[in-house]
Structure 1
Amino acid sequence: MKETGALATIQRQIQWNRLIAVVEEQAQTMIRTAFSTTVREAGDLSAGIFDLQGRMLAQAVTGTPGHVNSMAESVGHFLAKFPAAGMQPGDHYITNDPWLGTGHLHDLTVVTPAFRRGKIVGLFANTAHIIDIGGLGMGPEGRSVFEEGLYIPIVKCFDRNVPNETFFDFIRAGSRTPVELEGDIYSLCACNDAGAKRLVEMLDEFDMDSIDPLAEYIFESSLRATIEEIRKLPRGTFRAQIRSDGYEAPVTLNAAMTIEEERIVVDYAGTSGLSTRGINVPPAYCRAYSCFGIKCVVAPEIPNNWASLSPFQMEIPEGCILNAPWPYPVSVRHVVGQLLPDLMMGCLHQAVPGRVNAEGASALWNPPLRGGSQVSGQAAEVEDFEIITFNSGGTGARPEKDGLDGIAFPSGVRTMPVEATENVAPVIFWKKELRPDSAGAGKTRGGFGQVMEIGTKGEAEFAVNAIFDRVANPPKGRDGGGEGAAGWVGLNDANGTPLRTKGFQIVPKGRRLLLKLPGGGGMGDPKARDPELVRRDVVDGLITRAAAKEIYGVEV
């Protein structure tokens, strides 16, 4: 007998909480079983449950908005090729198509049907960043997606629990890290299986034949709540601009955000055109981070799903860098795409200034490193390795709190422990510490960046495929707050030889890679900052006495 009224509402809330637990166990299964350090240590992944129309009901707490919100569009593409009616228990489908998945070839997306009593009841999907997919490796050098790695269309990798051996032969042959790649695919399938198992247990417990009634409740509640929050905002069009260092030339990102009665529309007219290198952004990735930036300010407490994202709409002109068509290179689309939340907040600062952060380091500083014979040939002094490590500068100051030091926003990935990277590759992190005087000054200051010094065992030469930004265009403060320190990339030699911020480069024998990560922008007049907080930062070695006196007017 079905409950009605208040009791039914309570039951739906319990079911919703169980659904969140289901998808979080799905994500944690991937973390426990993944081979790639990017997943296992940094949490560069997403996991979620979808109805049979391909609409995302719920996402795991663990994961990145670039993956989650792009994946929200992906399942519909899978269903267009493999309709739900034809799926069987034990089937798993996979792609890394940047335009059907999450924006570049280094992300694998897997979709798996869930069955109860022989009937398909839902779909589980996940995405994970893998170390290597062949080609030129993760970097901006490719001139088309064909150069960037092995391109996997939407195919079935498991058929009724039987692995597609032809598929696995291809992916093993096409990667520098075949064991890790194959292991990660098994991990992705296992995590969807874990989610499907828990979903069936939930349906049995609540005697539910379908998730459709719960889905409609979630969608209706989320949409209504989101629209209520939009209605609290002032109407109008608000404009902002951000500059990126770019590759061949600087990139300008323009946004005009129009707040209407029940939706928010962002027009990117005036944004720079396409690049010849891999910093271009597929439109789904643009939508993913744009929606995230808006949602952080407008409706942060409302669950992230198909319905709560639907009022946020993007108009992305053809030919601009945020609307890359196939087969443009897109390998490091995050370098530009992760600036979009700061751009959205630049618009919203004019509408609701008390709810918006200053600009932060934004794009991850995640140097892909390579060494051995593929760099040095027969003169190689270390074994072949291919590794990537995730690191971040400082976040922007908040209206009432300082920014966060060395924390990834907007990506949300964890900083990888140096020990985890040193354990799987012949590299040594000689220095990893907060960067003094890098935080933008303000009543609330920005977060501090980091200083990193990386070499190899025996000081052998190695290569870095640089994918860095915020060097020529540091994070800006708001309301009188100062800029965060600009980033810097170079060698640890006496002259401080700079390297290019993007592209494949050799760190010579006896030298180390030196990275100075940007700090977050400040918020408000620095002279209004609590002097005790300034003194604390001086005592902690985060700002110098000279900076305290000159910028904050505080003698220490």
Structure 2
Amino acid sequence: MTDIDPVTLTVIQSGLQQVCNEMDLSFCRAAFSPVISESQDRSNGIYHRESGELIAQGDFGLPIFVGTMQFSTQAVIERAGEISDGDIFVVNDPYLGGTHLMDVRFVKPFFYRGRLFAWLANTGHWPDIGGMVPGGFSAHATEIEQEGLRLPPVKLFKAGELDREILSIIMSNIRIAEQRIGDIKAQAAALVIGGKRLTHLLDRYGESTVEAAIAELKRRSSVQMSECIDQIPDGDYVGESFLDSDGVVDTPLRIRLHVKKTAGRLAFDLSESSAPCAGPMNSVLATTKSSIYLAIKHVFPEVPINAGTFEPLDIVDPVGTFLYAQYPRPVSGCAAEVSQRIAEAVFDALVDAIPELLFAAPAGTTANLAIGGEDPASGRAYVMYAISGGGYGGYDGGDGLTNGCSTIGISKSQPVEVLEQLYPVRFERYAIHEGSGGAGEFRGGMGIHFRMQLLRGSARASMVMDHGKFGPPGALGGSDGGKTRIVIHRDGQAYEPPHVSKDQGVVMQAGDVIEVFTPGGGGFGDPARRDPARVASDVRAGYYTAEQAAARFGAGARS
């Protein structure tokens, strides 16, 4: 191994990160879909040429993709066969290192001076991938085929040329196909830009030096993560969380997690979780593992991200549970919802051991909402996919953030002005979900409450959300956060989904309104210990009514 000085190591580390960041920015700026260009539901990374292990990922990429893109790149490597410069594979198969079908991955071999040096990969959330309902979030699917088009690793680009036959297969199986070509070209162009930037880095520092830096960065991340883990006392810990239902059978799903800490390592066992479910809330193994990775990264954010970051984490494959989905189990809710319950179980297991590093549960739902139809004003079909934020949990020393992004990503809600410009909808309200923050010495942040009216034509609405029956749990005596609620107002009648947080194909006509309340975060610590001045401030701000404050904070609210 070539010796490398600390300054050069740091510069190369920043250079690799910058390559990924430029891919992220390029993808967002060129993408057609607002879910990518505005919500930033995408990620880019560099992966090892043989193992497929993560080398670097962009600062702006979704945390849930840290692990899954590593696994999907490995699946491409195993099946690639002969490769050439300019090839780009497309894959969205959840069982091959994926998430749900809407997360489409592009994987490109990167050659330097005629030799394969690494793989570049990215993921973009396509607003539709076919299936039973517009947007792909089928709440009632009982097999993967009902969720949309499933693609194994195939070469969409061959030596830089787009394969029109494969493209036609994809376009013939999804809605608003004519709009996807813009996203496809943006996704491919981001990888091309990444290749150019990585070439510049190698030209400047030399192949052997960069290779040595990559190996050293991996080693250091592993050591640093082990040192961080040693802040947790040795022992066995148990955490659990619950999903409302699977969308088909109206029974909660339990995630039960055993964590064992020994000598700089953490072992995770989910084998006591619920059995595979009928509906789309099963999780594929890649998403299950990635959920644990991102949860630990939330606890120890200072550790740089690469494959070494997760070496001290041992995860037992949860065979026989809904967290080890195999064909043909439906999985549309795994990445956006189940993943957050897994992370919640990790937080629950460790909060008593390291309360100074943890927090009460955040909102824990992406609040996936898809509406599809045809706009009579333009005569064009559309699929609008929207996500919403929620409250973060309180922590030792502070209240939770209001309307933060989900646990699994940095994706943000699209501006309502953009949605109103592109789709036949109007937002009548977009405000905080008052009273939704869990009470505690440090309260949870508030969720949001919006009302959106369909202006023209008819449409079908589908939603896959969670925490409608169980609010985000409080910690160390704190109260649970407020729950998800969905109400559709039609012809003077209010319709609420039987499964509370999940439904599909709900027919809406012009003038109908969909109303969504997202969860607040859990409270941290005994509510009676909250500073009365802070309770009074919350009441003045409208976070709680005086009656709510008195009921939740007791004497502190009356002082």
TM-score (norm 2): 0.93
Q: CA deviation at 1:367?
A: 0.7
1:380 & 1:41 partners in 2: Cα distance?
Answer: 24
SS at match of 1:258: strand
Q: CA deviation at 1:339?
A: 1.2
Give, as a single letter, the amino acid of the residue that structure 1 aligns with 2:12: Q
2:289 & 2:3 partners in 1: Cα distance?
Answer: 38
Q: CA deviation at 1:310?
A: 2.0
SS at match of 1:255: strand
Matched with 1:114 is 110
Among 28, 42, 45, the alignment partner of 1:31 is 28
Deviation string 1:211-236 (CA, Å, 9 cap, x unpaired) is 42121111111111111222332111
Give, as a single letter, the amino acid of the residue that structure 2 aligns with 1:372: E
Do the aligned residues in 2 keep the contact of 1:51 with 1:212 (CA within 8 Å)? no
Q: CA deviation at 1:4?
A: 5.1
Q: CA deviation at 1:549?
A: 3.2
Do the aligned residues in 2 keep the contact of 1:478 with 1:524 (CA within 8 Å)? yes
Q: CA deviation at 1:534?
A: 2.1
Matched with 2:523 is 522
2:333 & 2:179 partners in 1: Cα distance?
Answer: 21
Alignment of 1:480-495 (within 5 A): 480-492=477-489
Deviation string 1:264-323 (CA, Å, 9 cap, x unpaired) is 1111122111111211110110111111112321x3211111111122122233221110
Among 468, 471, 475, the alignment partner of 1:474 is 471
1:167 & 1:495 partners in 2: Cα distance?
Answer: 46
Matched, 1:446 2:444: yes
Alignment of 1:20-59 (within 5 A): 20-53=17-50, 54-59=52-57
Q: CA RMSD in A?
A: 2.1
Give, as a single letter, the amino acid of the residue that structure 2 aligns with 1:554: A
Matched with 1:376 is none
Q: 1:245 to 1:3 in 2, by over 3 A?
A: closer
Matched with 1:325 is 326
SS at match of 2:356: helix
Matched with 1:172 is 171
Moved more, 115-124 or 170-179: 115-124
Q: CA deviation at 1:209?
A: 4.9
Moved more, 132-141 or 300-309: 132-141
Q: 1:287 to 1:4 in 2, by over 3 A?
A: closer
Deviation string 1:473-511 (CA, Å, 9 cap, x unpaired) is 111111121111111111247664422321212235543
Deviation string 1:371-416 (CA, Å, 9 cap, x unpaired) is 239xxxxx99985321111102211112211111111231221121
Do the aligned residues in 2 keep the contact of 1:446 with 1:523 (CA within 8 Å)? yes
Q: 1:495 to 1:135 in 2, by over 3 A?
A: closer
SS at match of 2:395: coil
Give, as a single letter, the amino acid of the residue that structure 2 aligns with 1:502: K
Deviation string 1:59-94 (CA, Å, 9 cap, x unpaired) is 1011212222211211111111125xx432211111
SS at match of 1:355: coil
2:533 & 2:168 partners in 1: Cα distance?
Answer: 62
2:329 & 2:164 partners in 1: Cα distance?
Answer: 30
Alignment of 1:527-546 (within 5 A): 527-546=528-547
Question: How many aligned residue pairs are there?
Answer: 544
% identity of equivalent residues: 27
Matched with 2:392 is 395
Matched with 2:434 is 436
Give, as a single letter, the amino acid of the residue that structure 2 aligns with 1:366: N
Matched, 1:276 2:278: yes
Deviation string 1:191-217 (CA, Å, 9 cap, x unpaired) is 111111001111111233574212111
Matched with 1:554 is 557
Q: CA deviation at 1:152?
A: 1.1
Do the aligned residues in 2 keep the contact of 1:131 with 1:388 (CA within 8 Å)? yes
Give, as a single letter, the amino acid of the residue that structure 1 aligns with 2:311: S
2:194 & 2:388 partners in 1: Cα distance?
Answer: 30
Give, as a single letter, the amino acid of the residue that structure 1 aligns with 2:339: G
Q: CA deviation at 1:22?
A: 1.0
SS at match of 2:557: coil
1:95 & 1:495 partners in 2: Cα distance?
Answer: 43
Alignment of 1:288-327 (within 5 A): 288-297=290-299, 299-327=300-328
1:93 & 1:466 partners in 2: Cα distance?
Answer: 30
Do the aligned residues in 2 keep the contact of 1:66 with 1:102 (CA within 8 Å)? no
Do the aligned residues in 2 keep the contact of 1:461 with 1:511 (CA within 8 Å)? no
Do the aligned residues in 1 keep the contact of 2:89 with 2:107 (CA within 8 Å)? yes
Q: CA deviation at 1:100?
A: 1.6
Q: 1:442 to 1:421 in 2, by over 3 A?
A: same
Matched, 1:349 2:351: yes
Do the aligned residues in 1 keep the contact of 2:362 with 2:407 (CA within 8 Å)? no
1:87 & 1:212 partners in 2: Cα distance?
Answer: 22
Matched with 2:337 is 335
1:517 & 1:345 partners in 2: Cα distance?
Answer: 20
Give, as a single letter, the amino acid of the residue that structure 1 aligns with 2:199: V
Matched with 1:424 is 422
SS at match of 1:339: helix
Give, as a single letter, the amino acid of the residue that structure 1 aligns with 2:171: R
Q: CA deviation at 1:350?
A: 2.6
SS at match of 1:384: strand
Matched with 2:101 is 105
Do the aligned residues in 1 keep the contact of 2:436 with 2:482 (CA within 8 Å)? yes
Matched with 1:88 is 84
1:413 & 1:156 partners in 2: Cα distance?
Answer: 28
2:70 & 2:431 partners in 1: Cα distance?
Answer: 37
Deviation string 1:27-77 (CA, Å, 9 cap, x unpaired) is 111111111211111111111111212111111011212222211211111
2:471 & 2:380 partners in 1: Cα distance?
Answer: 37
